[in-house]
């Protein structure tokens, strides 16, 4: 729903990352609970922790790359707080 309704790349990325991270983590936690305490549940929990850390990190990298390539948020307001850092990178 957020991919269709949100106005710009950054809002859409936020919606997909939140759904991806929380959805996969909840499914993997459910599998670990059904399996009980075993080696498989420890592996599944390790995968859940990895996804919980790596998915938002990847979204941050994507949004920073999009900003540096010239894509700007729609409702930026009066000031662009990151304009100075963008000029320093060039």
Please state, in angstroms and rounded to a whole number, the distance separating the CA atoms of residues 7 and 76: 12
Phi (first) and psi of residue 83, to 5 degrees: -65, -35
The residue behind tokens 């938002």 is: 56
Please state, in angstroms and rounded to a whole number, the distance separating the CA atoms of residues 33 and 20: 20
What is the reported pLDDT for 32? 92
Are the CB atoms for 89 and 64 separated by under 8 Å? no
What is the reported pLDDT for 87? 63
pTM of the model: 0.73
pLDDT band at 28 (very low <50, low <70, confident <90, very high): very high
78 three-class SS: coil
Residue 69 pLDDT > 90: no
Tokens of 26: 């909840």
Are the CB atoms for 2 and 17 separated by under 8 Å? no
């Amino acid at each position: 729903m957020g991919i269709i309704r949100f106005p710009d790349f950054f809002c859409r990325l936020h919606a997909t990352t939140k759904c991806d991270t929380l959805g996969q983590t909840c499914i993997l936690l459910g599998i670990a609970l059904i399996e009980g305490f075993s080696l498989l549940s420890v592996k599944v929990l390790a995968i859940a922790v990895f996804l919980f850390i790596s998915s938002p990190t990847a979204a941050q990298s994507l949004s920073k790359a999009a900003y540096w390539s010239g894509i700007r948020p729609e409702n930026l307001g009066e000031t662009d707080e990151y304009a100075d850092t963008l000029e320093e990178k060039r």
